[in-house]
Structure 1
Amino acid sequence: MGVVIVMSISWIDAGMAGLSLSYTLTFTHHILWVVHMYVINKINLNAIKHVREYMQIDKELLSRIPENAPAISWPHAGEIVVEDLVI
């Protein structure tokens, strides 16, 4: 914008040139603010999308099944015996 003001010095006065330059700097600041707000809004909407996807995931089965739980006093002798292990 400064180049345009310098090139049109013949028909623009100093006050109008200063005002134009001031508005140009303010306009740039506002454009950066709008882009920043757009990005923040996009991030927030993405987070909502992820929460919605997580809510639709099937729940996992219980990791502890009461019928298969070991006795409270387990292990009795401080050793573990593995029988018929298949991997």
Structure 2
Amino acid sequence: MPYSIPYEYIRRKVDVRVTDKTIEVFYNQNRIASHRRLYGRPGQYNTIVEHMPEDHQKNLEWNGDRFRRWAEQIGVNTYKAVDAILTSRRV
């Protein structure tokens, strides 16, 4: 399962320590990330927002509630269509 690291360390060689409960990532013997270990659902991931570049953090504002508010401004049928899409599966 994927775990995030600060974006500055992408493509760098890191060391990873895995225990039953945690995933720790080290660069030059300094811990740069720590995550609670995930079990269960395939495709799960753990991203810490601060690990993302600032431009990518802005994408988090694009969520189901935002799309529903936008659709509601257009009209009731647009809202119904967007809501049906968003509730039909995990987005």
TM-score normalised by length of structure 2? 0.27
**Higher helix proportion (structure 1 or 2):** 1
TM-score normalised by length of structure 1? 0.28
The structure with the largest alpha-carbon Rg is: 1
Compare relative contact order (CA 8 Å, sep 6+) and give the higher one, 1 or 2.
2
**Higher strand proportion (structure 1 or 2):** 2
